[in-house]
């Protein structure tokens, strides 16, 4: 029903920047809440940032100020701008889309894009 494709990951030196993109299929993109997730080493997948249908953003506390999530409903795409990257940011980053009334775990997931930050 909804397909998500992430891109923009890669290898970057500590202190550098990357911008991740998530392109969504479907004509009802603007009705979904969107988020970025990552699994820290040895940990479960955790919320990095989310953006509501109205464009309001929430962030993992430790990432606030370095990461910025945004959405472009006209392009059916969300973004994650990552600045001042640290080696501990290394992870596969996943895009998620859900209806406002359900959990992210019941929503739709992309295939992920690898981010590697060298020290």
pLDDT tens column, 93-108: 999 999 888 888 899 9
Name the phi and psi angles at 11, rounded to 5: -100, 130
pLDDT tens column, 20-77: 999 998 766 667 899 999 998 788 899 999 998 888 999 999 998 999 999 988 888 9
What is the secondary structure of 16-79 as a DSSP string? --EEEEEEE-SS-GGGSEEEEEE--TTS--EEEEEE-TT--EEE-GGGBTTEEEEEEGGGTEEE
């Amino acid at each position: 029903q909804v397909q998500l494709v992430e891109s923009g990951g890669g290898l970057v030196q500590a202190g550098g920047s990357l911008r991740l993109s998530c392109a969504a299929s479907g004509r009802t993109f603007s009705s979904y809440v969107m988020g970025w997730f990552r699994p820290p080493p040895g940990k479960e997948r955790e919320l990095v940032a989310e953006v509501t249908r109205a464009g309001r953003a929430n962030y993992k506390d430790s990432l606030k100020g370095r990461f910025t999530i945004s959405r472009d409903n006209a392009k059916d795409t969300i973004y994650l701008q990552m600045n001042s990257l640290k080696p501990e940011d290394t992870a596969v980053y996943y895009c998620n889309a859900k209806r406002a009334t359900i959990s992210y775990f019941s929503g739709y997931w992309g295939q992920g894009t690898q981010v590697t930050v060298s020290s």
